[in-house]
């Protein structure tokens, strides 16, 4: 009996049990079929042997196949031309949100299917028929459905990998501010509150646009669970009219959230000028401590094609202008820090390069050429994702100037599905697991 107790203690300390006798390829096959990332964490915390195994990047790459970090897409079909507060029944407005995993995005096992089961169901129905707006570093921003005659804007954030959910306090809707113009998901690392909080929700920045072309900024703090007072940021001046271009979701870079705007002077021969709206991210938790600091800077880049703002692989801000046959990339060599006020602190130097796009799909005569046949999204690591309505999904490497097919289209975005909401969801699972298990590594090492 004493020997059995000693052997059991050794198995508990050393871990593995009969699994330790499995060949390496069979062990990897077993672990690749673990249901969810939560289960992987539980398995890693079982003993020091498994903890060391799951903090080996090579081992994680063999059981997880994140590819470009792209795990899949959030999809939702909405009725065209219907505002969300005009219908009493949310099911009449849109279908339930669903998730389509990219091939092998979560390994060869059933993990990807398990991810879809915990998308928006929270038991209380707060996320029922919620509209996905953006995703960043595993955090998904959802606009929740308000009850009839409720003028508040309702938001929620969730992490499908960990199951974490956060319901934001209602944001008062000014009668003149009727729609959401843009937003930024801010993590604890972005706000400077936690250097390791790359995947921890900290703040949400929302910009609303009025009928009179007044842009207001609102900041929500997860620490205080409150919104700041609205900060006017932009208005129409004389005949100049500003409009946001590119993605609604901000590019968060060097402690600031950036959006791209186009200024139309009204002149017949003016193609418009590009501007960059940058909001400085604070490190504190008090959202209502003061007005939001921002800058509005003109970019010396020709406003042509379909412009997007992104960050290159070497960490530089860039404007990517997409044309039918080529892509022009203008990189900012001299970074400018965001500060208070609308004036630019200093000029920026930009360098332009261009490369051709392979003819993936032909452009038919109908619909007309001016109608975009693809959707472009900014991804991390200096890449952009291209979703062709009638073909497939591609990832464009801006540095190497290459284009790689990721998956076939799901199904093609036909004319009756033009209002489909498509939100790419990416997350570096290896970095996420390594970061979350870092505390266990320290405690295991100190305990011997």
- pTM score, two decimals? 0.82
Q: Output the CA–CA distances (angstroms, integers) from residue 199 to 51, 93, 137, 312, 394, in the order listed.
A: 21, 32, 6, 21, 25
CA geometry: angle at 21 spanning 20 and 24, to 5°?
80
**What CA–CA distance (Å, rounded) separates 245 from 260?**
6
- Taking only the tens place, the pLDDT of each residue in 272-292 is 688 899 998 875 454 545 678
Per-residue b/e over 142-161, b at no fewer than 16 CB within 10 Å?
Answer: bbbbbeeeeeebbbbbbbbb
User: Rounded to an integer, what distance in angstroms lies between the CA atom of residue 217 and that of residue 229?
Assistant: 8
- Which residues are CB-contacts of 211 (< 8 A; sequence separation ≥ 6)? 176, 178
pLDDT tens for 16-71 read 555 656 677 777 777 777 766 777 788 887 777 778 878 888 888 877 766 668 88
The yes-or-no verdict on residue 207 having pLDDT over 80 is yes
Nearest alpha-carbon partner for 206 in 235, 172, 161? 172
pLDDT-derived band at 227 (thresholds 50, 70, 90) equals very high
Q: Strand 350-356 vs strand 155-159: parallel, antiparallel, or unpaired?
A: unpaired
Predicted confidence (pLDDT) per residue in 52-67, tens digit: 878 888 888 877 766 6
The pLDDT assigned to 352 comes to 87
Q: Which of 8-12, 146-150, 381-385 has the lowest mean pLDDT?
A: 8-12
- Of the listed ranges 27-31, 135-139, 161-165, the least confidently predicted one is 27-31
- The predicted pLDDT at position 14 comes to 47
Determine which of 56-70, 142-156, 174-188, 404-418 has the lowest per-residue pLDDT on average: 404-418
Question: Does residue 398 have a pLDDT over 80?
Answer: yes
Q: What is the pLDDT of residues 168-177, one digit of tens each?
A: 999 987 766 6
SS3 content of the chain, % helix, strand, coil (to 5): 20, 35, 45
- 109 has a pLDDT exceeding 60: no
Q: How far is CA 343 from the centre of its chain?
A: 29
């Amino acid at each position: 009996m004493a020997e059995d107790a000693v052997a059991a203690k050794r198995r508990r300390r050393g871990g593995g049990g009969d699994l330790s006798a499995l060949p390496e390829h069979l062990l990897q096959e077993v672990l690749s079929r673990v249901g969810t990332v939560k289960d992987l964490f539980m398995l890693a915390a079982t003993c020091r042997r498994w903890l060391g195994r799951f903090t080996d990047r090579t081992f994680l790459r063999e059981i997880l196949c994140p590819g470009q970090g792209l795990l899949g897409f959030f999809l939702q079909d909405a009725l065209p031309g219907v505002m969300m507060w005009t219908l009493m029944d949310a099911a009449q407005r849109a279908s339930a949100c669903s998730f389509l995993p990219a091939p092998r995005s979560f390994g060869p096992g059933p993990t990807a299917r398990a991810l879809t089961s915990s998308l928006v169901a929270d038991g209380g129905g707060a996320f029922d028929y919620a509209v996905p707006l953006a995703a960043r570093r595993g955090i998904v921003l959802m606009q929740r459905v308000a009850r009839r005659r409720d003028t508040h804007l309702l938001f929620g954030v969730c992490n499908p990998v960990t199951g974490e959910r956060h319901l934001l306090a209602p944001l008062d809707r000014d009668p003149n501010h009727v729609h959401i113009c843009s937003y930024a998901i801010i993590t604890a690392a972005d706000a400077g509150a936690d250097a390791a909080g790359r995947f921890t929700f900290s703040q949400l920045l929302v910009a609303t646009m009025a009928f009179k072309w007044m842009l207001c900024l609102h900041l929500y703090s997860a620490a205080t669970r409150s919104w700041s007072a609205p900060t006017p940021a932009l208005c129409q001046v004389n005949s100049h009219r500003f409009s946001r271009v590119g993605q609604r979701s901000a590019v968060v870079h060097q402690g600031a959230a950036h959006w791209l705007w186009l200024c139309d002077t009204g002149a017949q021969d003016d193609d418009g000028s590009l501007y960059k709206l940058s909001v400085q991210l604070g490190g504190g938790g008090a959202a209502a401590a003061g007005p939001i600091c921002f800058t509005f800077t003109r970019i010396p880049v020709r406003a042509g094609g379909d412009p997007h703002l992104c960050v290159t692989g070497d960490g530089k801000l860039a404007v990517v202008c997409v044309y039918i046959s080529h892509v022009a990339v203008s990189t900012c060599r001299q970074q400018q820090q965001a500060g208070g006020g609308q004036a630019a602190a200093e000029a920026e130097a930009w360098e332009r390069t261009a490369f051709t796009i392979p003819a993936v799909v032909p452009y038919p005569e109908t619909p007309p050429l001016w109608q975009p046949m693809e959707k472009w999204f900014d991804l991390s690591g200096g890449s952009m994702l291209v979703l062709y309505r009638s073909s497939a999904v591609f990832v464009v490497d801006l540095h190497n100037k290459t284009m790689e097919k990721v998956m076939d289209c799901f199904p093609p975005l036909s004319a009756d599905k033009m209002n489909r909401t498509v939100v790419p969801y990416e997350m570096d699972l290896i970095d996420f697991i390594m970061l979350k298990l870092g505390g266990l590594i320290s405690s295991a090492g100190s305990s011997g």
